[in-house]
Amino acid sequence: MSVLWSKQGTPDEIVQEFTVGRDREFDIKLARYDILGTMAHIRMLKSISLLTGGEEAILLEELNKMIAEVDEGKFVLEDGVEDIHSQVEFNLTKKTGDIGKKIHSGRSRNDQVLVDIKLFLKNEIHEVRDGVSALFSLLQKLSEQHKDIMLPGYTHSQIAMPSTFGLWFGAYAESLTDDLYTLVAAYNIINQNPLGSAAGYGSSFPIDRELTTSLLGFAAPNYNSVAAQMSRGKSERAVAFAISAIASTLNKLSSDCIVFMNGNYGFISFPDELTTGSSIMPHKKNPDVWELIRAYSNRILSVPNEIALLTTNLTHGYHRDFQLLKEILFPALDSAKKILSLSVFMLENIRVNKEILNDNKYDYLFTVEEVNKRVLAGVPFREAYKSVGLEVNSGTFVADKKVTHTHIGSMGNLCNAQIEAKFSKVLALLD
């Protein structure tokens, strides 16, 4: 295996295989970002006269060709090349000779991989943001569409008070707004440029870190070079917390849908082609998609803890432990985007039962409504509560299935416009 940074001698194959691990598998995702980081670094090297204008032009031309190969799916990690950083430099050296050998001046693999990961994660956050936005818009639409259709509300998994589909759909929309705040926080942590921190202690070259910060679109540098290296693990953990917040919301949504489409409830249904059958029970319509969304959500919820355990008890500076972060976080990001997309797909095809509360077993949903009605008529609350309770116990309670909720955030005042304004305000922080 070709290793640009190795010492003299051939590394033991067992050690080499173990230390490289699955890095090559995940490194291909970083190809575009390694090239972009290298382009910014080259422009900076030219600005401090470590490259001539002619050398800069030659190198940038070849790197632009590599970007095109990435876009076309033709860029590969060749057998025997350890990682994406080595591949880009090998390609440049192969095409430009000694000029390509100059590009590593003023940087280290440590800050190089940090730049790659941060640029990659910024893009991933934008893709997750788009998935959240699509689901939010659909939930808002469904909330308005079904705002007057009654639905039982539960506490302790017991029949509690009347609700509506509008309130239910809208709840998940607003919950996604909170989740978006965590995504913004992760983005702000990542949106700092580590390039120039080198191995963690800066460089004796007169590098211009403000220039590379601007070229790469970061909001600011990680100023302290040691702190820049300490962001490895912290960045990944911040993103993991953000997607775990989203996963928590999807976990609850999928659990609701699984219960609500159960035959004993019958609140919602989906077309047959979106459910699965049984090998022996012809009547079965299983909620496999929602069950898998729930399962993927639970796996994502474990990721922050896994990253925390991996990065705990490490002194400052680079450690090879960090290599495993990619195989923990990258698949989780793919899963997050997948379950957001599948949630949209399923909800686009949801059917709601408009006659749920016609069943007498839901009459007790309205006991609180009756208590409140009597209080409004002048009966003290405790007396009204006691009298309705006695009617329930004696079997004489008669439900008046009318609700008159008007306060902010209630069935009669969903505040969907305000929730959309709040979501849009947070969303703008990720533009």
Question: DSSP states of 400-431 as a string?
Answer: -------STTBTTB--HHHHHHHHHHHHGGG-
Helix (H), strand (E) at residue 221: strand 220-221
pTM value is: 0.92
Q: Do 113 and 171 belong together in one domain?
A: yes
Say if 409 falls within a structural domain.
no
Domain end among 67, 102, 137: 102
Say if 159 falls within a structural domain.
no
Q: Do 311 and 176 belong together in one domain?
A: yes
* pLDDT tens-digit profile, the chain (431 residues): 455 555 555 667 777 677 666 767 788 999 999 999 999 999 999 999 999 999 999 999 999 999 999 999 999 988 878 889 889 999 999 999 999 999 999 999 899 999 999 999 999 999 999 999 999 999 999 999 999 999 999 999 999 999 999 999 999 999 999 999 999 999 999 999 999 999 999 999 999 999 999 999 999 999 999 999 999 999 999 999 999 999 999 999 999 999 999 989 999 999 999 888 766 776 778 899 999 999 999 999 999 999 999 999 999 988 889 999 999 999 999 999 999 999 999 999 999 999 999 999 999 999 999 999 999 999 999 999 999 999 999 999 998 888 888 999 999 999 999 999 999 999 999 98
**Which structural domain, as residue segments, surrounds residue 263?**
109-147+165-205+220-356+421-430
* Total domains present in the chain: 3
For residue 420, give Cα distances in angstroms to 89, 136, 143, 247, 342: 47, 9, 12, 21, 22
Say if 410 falls within a structural domain.
no
CATH number for position 41: 1.10.275.10
Say if 412 falls within a structural domain.
no
Q: Do 95 and 131 belong together in one domain?
A: no
Question: What DSSP designation does 174 have?
Answer: H
Q: Do 314 and 244 belong together in one domain?
A: yes
Q: Do 189 and 78 belong together in one domain?
A: no
Q: Do 92 and 178 belong together in one domain?
A: no
CATH number for position 298: 1.20.200.10
Q: Do 262 and 349 belong together in one domain?
A: yes
How many Å apart are CA 352 and CA 356, to the nearest integer?
A: 9
Say if 158 falls within a structural domain.
no
Q: How far apart are the first and last CA of the chain?
A: 41
Q: Do 350 and 366 belong together in one domain?
A: no
Q: Do 299 and 200 belong together in one domain?
A: yes
Q: Do 45 and 124 belong together in one domain?
A: no
* Contact between residue 15 and residue 75 where contact means Cβ atoms under 8 Å apart: no
Map residue 368 onto helix, strand or coil. Answer: helix
